[in-house]
Amino acid sequence: MSQISKAILRTIAYADIFDYPLRQSEIWRFLISKIQIPKSKFQKNLDLLSLQVANQNDVYFLKGREKIVALRQKREEWSRPKMTIARRVAGRLKLIPTVKMVAVTGALAMNNADRNDDIDLLIVTGRNRLWLTRLLTIFLVELVAKRRRPNDKVVANKICLNMFLDEDCLAVPQNEQDLFSAHEVCQLRLLWDKNNCYQKFIKANLWSQKFLANWKP
């Protein structure tokens, strides 16, 4: 088996951990590889994996895992109202001048949220304004939505303010720079930003290309 075929199989297997079959374009974009792979070579090697990989409804998955095709469709349906809530809350956060970027992270960023999942938001704040912005954000979210608290047992559709970053400290810590974090960086779904904050975030985390070389914003 070629190195490209191994990378494709590795990518599909990694997504399978999250019960997530991939479209062909998603396999190529999120290919677990240290080097960029041309689409022509990618397609040829994908076609050679018919013994290990199946294709149904335009998505690819490991043989024997057909059930996750329907699950992806259900999760896409469950994700829609959650994204509506996320966009509404993000729009309100524009009222806080020290908020520089709002993005959805986690499974919802890939439209792969379960019915009972919460809504994870990443907030980038102005320089040296993280704690003030955090307090203002919590206050505003309490007014316009349901915020997830540490001891909540029911979290469906609640806003989880799970990450705040100062605009001067956008890089993932070096000891956390792994495949999982690379996916979190690249799968992040931007809701809005100011002054090209998203591009600054991506530039600060170019290390992710050591894991996902094909990925581009």
In a domain, 156, yes or no: yes
The pLDDT tens digits of the residues spanning 143-168 come to 988 999 888 889 999 999 989 999 99
The pLDDT tens digits of the residues spanning 108-148 come to 999 999 999 999 999 999 999 999 999 999 999 999 889 99
Q: What is the gyration radius of the CA atoms in the chain, in angstroms? A: 19
pTM: 0.93
Q: What is the mean pLDDT of residues 86-112?
A: 97
The pLDDT tens digits of the residues spanning 62-86 come to 999 999 999 999 999 999 999 999 9
Residues 100 and 52 in one domain: no
Whether the CB-CB separation of 193 and 16 falls below 8 Å is answered with no
How large a percentage of the chain has pLDDT more than 70? 100
Whether the CB-CB separation of 30 and 214 falls below 8 Å is answered with yes
What distance in Å separates the CA atoms of residue 43 and residue 25, rounded to the nearest whole number?
A: 10
How large a percentage of the chain has pLDDT more than 90? 95
Residues 53 and 126 in one domain: no
**Confidence band, pLDDT 50/70/90 cuts, at residue 51:** very high
Whether the CB-CB separation of 146 and 157 falls below 8 Å is answered with yes
What CATH number does the domain containing 11 carry?
Answer: 1.10.10.10
Residues 93 and 177 in one domain: yes
Residues 15 and 112 in one domain: no
**Residue closest to 201 by CA, chosen among 180, 217, 214, 178:** 217
What distance in Å separates the CA atoms of residue 72 and residue 55, rounded to the nearest whole number?
A: 14
What CATH number does the domain containing 183 carry?
Answer: 3.30.460.10
In a domain, 51, yes or no: yes
Residues 78 and 58 in one domain: no
In a domain, 216, yes or no: no
The pLDDT tens digits of the residues spanning 18-47 come to 999 999 999 999 999 999 999 999 999 999
Residues 13 and 57 in one domain: yes
- Which residue among 65, 95, 119 closes a domain? 65
Residues 34 and 53 in one domain: yes
Residues 38 and 120 in one domain: no
Residues 104 and 157 in one domain: yes
**CB atoms near residue 122 (< 10 Å):** 22
In a domain, 93, yes or no: yes
Q: What is the mean pLDDT of residues 87-102?
A: 97
pLDDT reported for residue 44:
93
Domain count for the chain: 2
Q: Which two tokens stand for residue 44?
A: 């040829």
Residues 157 and 131 in one domain: yes
The pLDDT tens digits of the residues spanning 165-207 come to 999 999 999 999 999 999 999 999 999 999 999 999 999 999 9
In a domain, 217, yes or no: no
- Which residue among 17, 37, 65 closes a domain? 65
The parent domain of residue 79 ranges over 74-210
- Which residue among 65, 83, 117 closes a domain? 65
Residues 190 and 89 in one domain: yes
Residues 31 and 102 in one domain: no
